[in-house]
């Protein structure tokens, strides 16, 4: 059953604003579940076999919509979760100012053909308060993003595990934009035997190259100009890929040094599975990744590159 034909009777109290599926009314609004009971009821309406999930923190944009459409192409049902997970935000991070745009998010979900939106509050996800038992990201969670954001990946994996269980998904779609997150989710699924297929989707960019992000709304017009140096640096690095690792690093660094207002946290060329710096002689798949503060906003971006002969930018690497 596709969303175009989904019965619109959702869980009690969540059906009021749903439209009847007809040519006159256009796409059907997804069922919205806010509690575990509502999710259970709505999820039971979907055939068990084939449910893809796209997990988000809301403030949806074309990047999220692309993930949803990709999931939609090959799955009978798509569930979107919208949850700002306090467990993955540090005390000095932007949880309180993170944009909340639920009505607009629902429009995007409707247009992209989502069946069910699960939008719980923290007390629904963590009824006993902060969980004592959590998923540990291990050493891969301590480097790059993990170095600036201690505990972030444990909090992220913990909620991803819970949302996989709660939605009973068979596939889960994640963006290449958050490469370390994607790697850690793949590792969790493999290491802990989750019966879920993880699918990666290439980074969606603005026309000028800026990676789409909910946090881009924090950028002033001049911040935005500065922020472009990140994607330009990655592009310059990828363009030097045939010349090897040193040339990639040099080319990317050369762009960033010309933009002192981008306060670079890291610019690295690492192995996509170990996240360790690749040696100068390296040929093969690598990740060129950058994090920088621009104004008050911390931005990340990356490009998968093939280093060496025939090298250059790639959209995303297959799971190994």
Active site residues: 64
Q: Which residue matches tokens 């363009």?
A: 239
Q: Where are the beta strands (DSSP E) in the chain?
A: 31-33, 51-56, 77-82, 116-118, 171-175, 197-201, 262-270, 284-294, 297-307, 312-313
Q: Which residue is nearest to ligand AMP (CB)?
A: 175
- Residue 10 three-state SS: coil
Tally Cβ neighbours within 10 Å of residue 83: 19
Is 57 one of the binding residues for ligand AMP (CB under 6 A)? yes
> Within 231-290, which residues bind ligand AMP (CB under 6 A)?
none
Provide, rounded to whole angstroms, the least separation between the CB of residue 73 and ligand AMP: 15
Of the pair 68, 240, the CB lying nearest ligand AMP is at: 68
Binding characters for ligand AMP, 167-186, by CB under 6 A (x = yes): -------xx-xx--------
Dihedral sign (CA 30, 32, 33, 38): negative
> Distance (Å, rounded) from C-alpha 210 to C-alpha 225?
9
| 228 vs 245 by CB, closer to ligand AMP | 228
Residue with Cβ nearer ligand AMP (170 or 214):
214
For residue 155, what are its two tokens? 């909090």
Contact indicator for 313, 243 with CB cutoff of 8 Å: no
Size of the site for ligand AMP (CB under 6 A): 16
Window 97 to 116, contacts with ligand AMP (CB under 6 A): none
| Identity of the residue, 59 or 269, whose beta carbon is nearer to ligand AMP in the bound complex | 59
CA distances from 309 to 106, 236, 240, 279 (A): 46, 17, 11, 16
Is residue 73 classed exposed, middle or buried when 0-12, 13-18 and 19+ CB atoms within 10 A define those classes? exposed
Token representation of residue 55: 């997990």
For ligand AMP, which residue of 211, 255, 290, 292 counts as binding (CB under 6 A)?
211
- Of 129-137, 204-212, 257-265, 269-277, which segment contacts ligand AMP by CB under 6 A? 204-212
Binding-site member from 204, 234, 287, 294 for ligand AMP (CB under 6 A): 204
Using the contact rule CB under 6 A, the part of the chain among 56-64, 125-133, 186-194, 250-258 near ligand AMP is: 56-64
Is there a contact between 229 and 255 (Cβ–Cβ < 8 Å)?
yes
| Least distance (Å) between residue 160 CB and ligand AMP | 10
Smallest gap from Cβ 64 to ligand AMP, in A, equals 5
Pick between residue 177 and residue 232 the one whose CB is nearest to ligand AMP: 177
Q: Which residues contribute to the site for ligand AMP (CB under 6 A)?
A: 56-57, 63-64, 67, 174-175, 177-178, 201, 203-204, 211-214
């Amino acid at each position: 059953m596709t969303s175009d034909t989904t019965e619109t009777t959702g869980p009690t109290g969540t059906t009021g604003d749903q439209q009847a599926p007809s040519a006159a009314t256009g796409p059907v609004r997804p069922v919205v579940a806010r509690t575990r009971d509502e999710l259970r009821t709505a999820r039971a309406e979907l055939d068990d076999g084939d449910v893809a999930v796209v997990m988000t923190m809301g403030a949806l944009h074309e990047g999220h919509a692309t993930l949803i459409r990709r999931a939609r192409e090959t799955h009978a049902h798509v569930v979107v979760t919208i949850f700002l997970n306090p467990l993955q935000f540090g005390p000095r991070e932007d949880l309180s100012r993170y944009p909340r745009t639920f009505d607009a998010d629902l429009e995007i979900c409707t247009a992209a053909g989502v069946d069910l939106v699960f939008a719980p509050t923290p007390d629904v996800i963590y009824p006993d308060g902060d969980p004592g038992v959590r998923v540990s990201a291990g050493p891969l969670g301590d480097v790059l993003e993990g170095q600036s954001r201690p505990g972030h990946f444990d909090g992220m994996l913990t909620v991803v595990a819970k949302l996989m269980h709660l939605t009973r998904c068979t596939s889960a779609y994640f963006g290449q934009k958050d490469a370390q997150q994607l790697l850690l989710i793949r590792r969790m699924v493999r290491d802990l035997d989750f019966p879920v297929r993880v699918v990666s989707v290439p980074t969606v960019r603005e026309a000028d190259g800026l990676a789409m992000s909910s946090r881009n709304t924090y950028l002033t017009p001049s911040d935005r100009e500065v922020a472009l140096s990140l994607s330009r640096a990655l592009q310059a690095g990828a363009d030097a890929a045939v010349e090897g690792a040193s040339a990639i690093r040099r080319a990317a660094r050369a762009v960033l040094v010309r933009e002192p207002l981008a306060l670079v946290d890291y610019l690295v060329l690492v192995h996509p599975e170990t996240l360790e710096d690749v040696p100068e002689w390296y040929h093969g798949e690598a990740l060129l990744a950058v994090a920088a503060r621009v104004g008050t906003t911390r931005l990340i971006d990356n490009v998968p590159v093939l280093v060496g002969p025939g090298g250059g930018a790639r959209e995303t690497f297959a799971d190994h």
